[in-house]
Amino acid sequence: MSEPISPSAGDLISPFEADSTAGRFSLADLKQTLVLYFYPKDNTPGCTTQSVDFRDQHEAFLSAGAMIVGVSRDSMKSHENFKKKYELPFALISDPSEALCAQFGVMKNKLMYGKPVRGIERSTFVIDRQGKLLKAWRGVKVPGHVAEVLEFVKSH
């Protein structure tokens, strides 16, 4: 099976709807720039650090005209607990069917402790109000990433 074609800068993102901790999320209802970040799993070290980094810069993103939404395959219950535990002020989308993950081409075969596993490649996408992808980061390393995304958002 071939990898799906991943969107790249300049592409229009197909409208989507998904369940989130803030209710039903719809790309069609977007009224500001969207920072959509995909992460492998709630309550794991890298994902927690990344989410807390976004939390700590949340006001700066809002000031720059952007909203943040996180996405993983975790359940809504897991997301609610994760959001509460770390006081995340933004919505988390639950994508257990991997439909959104497939749309953005973030599902990858990886090695974990020497064993092949299929999981989310940590990725961040900035999408404008018209649904156009402005920038994509794939295979993200957590340290410094949120600051880099914020600088990009501020410059656009």
Q: What is the mean pLDDT of the chain?
A: 94
- Which position among 47, 93, 120, 140 bears the catalytic label? 47
- 19-154 to CATH, choices 3.40.50.720, 3.40.30.10, 3.20.20.210, 3.40.50.300: 3.40.30.10
Instruction: For residue range 23-71, list pLDDT tens digits in order.
Output: 999 999 999 999 999 999 999 999 999 999 999 999 999 999 999 999 9
The whole-model pTM stands at 0.94
Q: How far is Cα 103 from Cα 4, in angstroms, rounded to an integer?
A: 8
Judge whether 79 and 96 are in contact, CB under 8 Å: no
101 in active site: no
* Residue of higher predicted confidence among 114 and 61: 61
Distance CA 6, CA 105 (A): 5
